[in-house]
Structure 1
Amino acid sequence: MIRHLVLFKLNEGVSRDEPRVVAGAEAFKELGGQVPEVEFWECAWNITDRPIAYDFAINSAVSDRDALQRYLDHPAHQAGVAQWREFATRVIADYEF
């Protein structure tokens, strides 16, 4: 199994309640059910207020590297990423477990 972790930090001056941010969060909440390769999916807003904290997190899992690539290439994933690129930066980690 491969764990795919993504953390998003909203850009300076961007707030969670902006319509484009709300739409981006909804797109990711639905994404896990749209991509067949996804075996585990959760995402949510950070609940703490610390300077080093990111704002939104995705924790997901797929079976192997091929499944990860199919997930990354999936049109729904690409569309969600395109939304978030407009208002946030991200870091990722993919690891086998």
Structure 2
Amino acid sequence: MIRHLVLFKLNDGVKRDEPRVVAGVQAFEALPGVIPELESWECAWNITDRPIAYDFAINSAVADTEALKRYIEHPAHQEAAALWREFATWVIADYEI
């Protein structure tokens, strides 16, 4: 099993309630029903406000590296990530569990 973690930081001046951000969140929330490789999926806004904190997180799992590749290349994932490129940066970590 592979854990796939992503932490997003909104660009300066971008607010959570902007329509494009709301659309980005909705696109990620829809992925579990669209991408069969996802064994588990959580995404949510960070509830703490600290200078080093990221704003939004995804915590997901897939069966193996091939499933991770299919997830990353899936058109729905690509479309959701493209939305976020407009207003955020992110870091990822993938590790075996």
TM class by smaller structure: over 0.9
Once residues 9 and 29 of structure 1 are traced to their aligned partners in structure 2, the CA distance between those partners, rounded to angstroms, is 17
Coordinate RMSD, CA, aligned: 0.4
Structure 2 CA distance for aligned equivalents of residues 7 and 39 of structure 1: 19
Matching residue of 1:76: 76
1:33 CA drift (Å): 1.7
The code of the aligned residue for 1:79 comes to: E
Equivalent position of 1:54 in the other structure:
54
In 2, distance between residues paired with 1:53 and 1:32? 25
Residue type matched to 1:40 in 2? S
- Identify the residue that residue 20 of structure 2 maps to in structure 1: 20
Amino acid at match of 1:68: L
Q: How many residues align?
A: 97
Give aligned-pair identity as a percent: 76
The unaligned stretches of length 5 or more in structure 2 are: none
Which residue pairs with 2:8 in the alignment?
8
Residue 90 of structure 2 aligns to a residue whose secondary structure is: strand
TM-score normalised to structure 2 length: 0.99
Instruction: Give SS of 2:69's match.
Output: helix
What is the letter of the counterpart of residue 49 of structure 2? Answer: D
How far apart, in 1, do the equivalents of 2:68 and 2:32 lie?
13
Normalising by the residue count of structure 1, what TM-score does the alignment of the two structures yield? Answer: 0.99
Which residue of structure 1 lines up, in the alignment, with residue 92 of structure 2?
Answer: 92
Note the C-alpha offset of 1:73.
0.3
